[in-house]
Amino acid sequence: MITDVLTVSLLGGIMCLDRNCVQVMISRPIVVAPVIGLILGDVQTGLMAGAFMELIWSDRLPIGTYVPPNDSLVSVLIVSSAILASKAVNHDVRTLLALSVLLFVPVGRLTQTIDTLLIKANDGLSRTAVMKAEEGDTAGVARLHIKAIARSLCCNFLVIMVSLALGIGVMVWTYSFLPEPLIHALKMTYLFLPLIGAAVAMNTIRFEGIIPVFCSVYLIVMILLEIIRAC
């Protein structure tokens, strides 16, 4: 499991760089979560988590000075913790996916603070880069760009690694004490996740157009397939 945690932390940290470095949309939850699921051997859980996370913060747009929660990083934590914890307790991953959502969605507030601090730190690098550019020091400008990227990667890697290690421990420990009624409640929570996502999508349709509707339909279809398979 240690190897899996380190692998997820590194891959997730690299993919999360797309938010402010490459920006080719590979950091979107609907992409990053299935990729993590594929690495851990459970693409279906990754698809489910990615679709839900794509919707849940679809009304938090990076407009002006507002810094939204890092939904990419939270998606990595949710899907990887659910899969790894299910392997540890040998139980249905869907129940643990609901538990991981309850545990890690609040981490979005922490990632929001971290991203804000990184942006402020990069402001200093930007001013230094302008000075070096005026001096004709192109190599110095390149080094500052690499420094900013490395700083973001290190922060992403550390946040994922620490949060994932602690989260899996908490989930495994908590799950061992849960009575059957609470386990059943988690199963019901899993089934209600699409309704939460659909509600957020309906609130943001005027901003996001067809994308939330597509993700809502996709998520509902996934749930229906799960119910049919269970029956």
Distance of CA 231 to the CA centre of its chain: 30
Quick: pLDDT tens for 101-149. 888 988 888 888 888 888 888 878 878 888 888 788 788 878 888 888 8
Could you give the C-alpha distances from 148 to 16, 72, 126, 142, in angstroms and in order? 14, 19, 9, 10
DSSP track, 40-89: TT-HHHHHHHHHHHHHHTTT----TT-----HHHHHHHHHHHHHHHHHHH
Other C-beta atoms closer than 10 Å to the C-beta of 154 total 11
- pLDDT average per 10 residues of sequence, the chain (231 residues): 90 88 82 92 86 76 75 91 88 84 86 85 81 81 84 91 91 84 80 70 58 64 64 57
40: left (phi over 0), alpha (psi -120 to 50) or beta: alpha
What's the rounded Cα separation, in Å, for the pair 108 and 70?
A: 6
What's the rounded Cα separation, in Å, for the pair 75 and 89?
A: 21
CA 162-190-88 angle, 5° bins = 45
| Helix, strand, coil percent values for the chain (each to nearest 5) | 85, 0, 15
CB 13 within 8 A of CB 151: no
What's the rounded Cα separation, in Å, for the pair 77 and 159?
A: 10
Other C-beta atoms closer than 10 Å to the C-beta of 14 total 16
Q: Which amino acid is at 49?
A: A
Quick: pLDDT tens for 167-183. 998 888 888 888 888 88
pTM over 0.75, yes/no: yes
DSSP assignment letter at 155: H
